[in-house]
Structure 1
Amino acid sequence: MTYLSPLLSRHGAVKAGGLDAGVAAHYGDPLREQRELARGNAVTDLSHRGVVTVTGPDRLSWLNTLSSQSVSDLQPGTSSELLLLSVQGRIEHDARILDDGNTAWLIVEAAEAPVLARFLERMKFMLRVEVADVSRDWAVVGSVTPVEAWANYSVWTDPWPNIGAGGFAYTGVPEDSHPGRDRPWHEYLIPAAELEQAVTDSGRTLAGTMASEALRIAAWRPRLGAETDDKTIPHELDLIRTAVHLAKGCYKGQETVARVHNLGHPPRRLVFLQLDGSQHTLPAPGSAVMLGERRVGAVTSVAQHYEMGAVALAVIKRSVDPAAELVVDDDGEPYAAAQEVIVAPDAGQVVGRAGGFLRPPRA
């Protein structure tokens, strides 16, 4: 059954598509909604998101052995992010994790929940864990600032762009000026039956996913299914900072993670693009990124930002000069694109390096 949020009945609601199908893209005024969301005066319906629970006394130690993140000692109320990788180190699942002392809550993209639940069920063996896809029973709502009226609900707070324990930053900008610091992000877990009343009780207006996506893009925050494909490794998206612990024990894909980080370079890198907005249109995700006559990558996410105008994220070849002028080609419609480095071209090869762009967490 296709999910449709009850909040789509609100005045002006226009359905979203793609990864956000089932909730509202906007409620009539996307840029105003974006401003209100950025100022902490609105919330975004993300009730289409998948929610998987893991219970039992072995839940954290078990998830620790399966994932890229160190979560065996995750404290109640602490938010983290973990990846489940293929043997080749490619991203298969990206989950937001929050533990309340009894249950580990995994918030994932809508289509990921049943797939993730089936995978985890197969990996239980004799451990004391129980896995459930509870997506129909729980709704997710996003906000830039904490919602006082929802103090009794569990909330996952995005660790991005902080460099977690065991993490590393691949960007070339000073950490204090990382644009992700302008977009704190909280995702509340609300019983589905209480969603409409909870939004009313919050005292905030609704902003559609066009608004939340624009803020995500401006924060350089990668998203599974948008910035990823079947070949993506964490290093290409700067996910080593929040979703990978480089010193934890063995897990599937660890060899690739360690080899690329210590000895090699990721073959591609995530970039932020400031697009020429003079056409008053936006290129579609998947549009080619061109360097002269050569295709060097593709746009992965695109939005109209309320302050910066047309912006995008793209994944391009590592070798592309950061100073090069690029063009986004949307089926013959060109858009000039100025790039900002998210993942540095010299990312990787940490062994033997005295400096460079890479940064460990602060003491």
Structure 2
Amino acid sequence: MSSDASAPASAAPRIVDAATVQRTLDFPSLVHALDEAFRAGREVPLRHHHPIAQPAGRDAMLLLMPAWSRGGAVGIKIVTVYPDNGRRGLPAVIGTYLLLDGATGAPKAVIDGSMLTVRRTAAASALAASRLARADAGRLVIVGTGALAPHLVRAHAAVRPIRQVAVWGRRREAAETLARTLSEEGFAAEAVGDLGRAVRDADIVSCATLANEPLVRGEWLAPGCHLDLVGGFTPTMREADDEAVRRARIFVDTREGALHEAGDLVQPIAAGVIGAGDVVGDLFDLARGTVPGREHDDEITYFKSVGTALEDLAAAELVVQRL
């Protein structure tokens, strides 16, 4: 089926699998597309969260994330988050994206939402790092070994000269497996057991976990470090402690989302450690140049993302354009 907006409403939507999403969304192009989308803006209602109680283990979550552009496409992502899926050999986050014609509402494409999510999430972190990490940042620590982790490494390497990668995970064997994969791609990668030592030596620390208690301590962050927090998406989730926000210059993907949903900010604000006004800017500000990014080599920068449907729509539009 043609992806042209003039296609008949009765035509069947294109089905786009994960391999096609990964192939079409190279990180340099996707980072550029997100930069343009944040500069231009989109209509993005606050996403819906629906907890799903589980008879055993942690509760699951259903997320509905709509977005549209004036005169352009309409999209919605349907995501489930099942934190205990790792024990079943399944990813914790599973999603489907539906892209609709903005003029008729007819479905244009049904896209693998899980791959779309990891690619756009990693690209958003890279977009932030392109403004906030030091230009010579070459040492990256990745905290977490899930589906998103390798994409974060590749995305950061698209905007910064990443040479060395330290991988930390709760399960050593998973960290070693990821390190081997990254080594095969040309990175000097190794699994590490001492997270504190690895963070102290890092230029960029990128966290993609489902932690409810902080893993990264602010006292470990060296002058000039950039901290990238991706995993937490509810007010009860934390990846870094209060000292991290106290020491850093803070940025978010969107103020509305992060200040309502990110435990890494909601909790220290509630405790009086920082105020909402201590969030310097978001990706709209950075893309539009209304707030400066990194101001000097020794400052610690902090980026917290919870995801926004703007990113999904921009990524889905790029996929369909390239097909």
- The TM-score, its normalising length taken from structure 2, stands at 0.30
| Structure with greater helix share of residues | 2
Which has the higher Rg, Structure 1 or Structure 2?
A: 1
The two structures have a TM-score, normalised by structure 1, of 0.28
More strand by share: 1
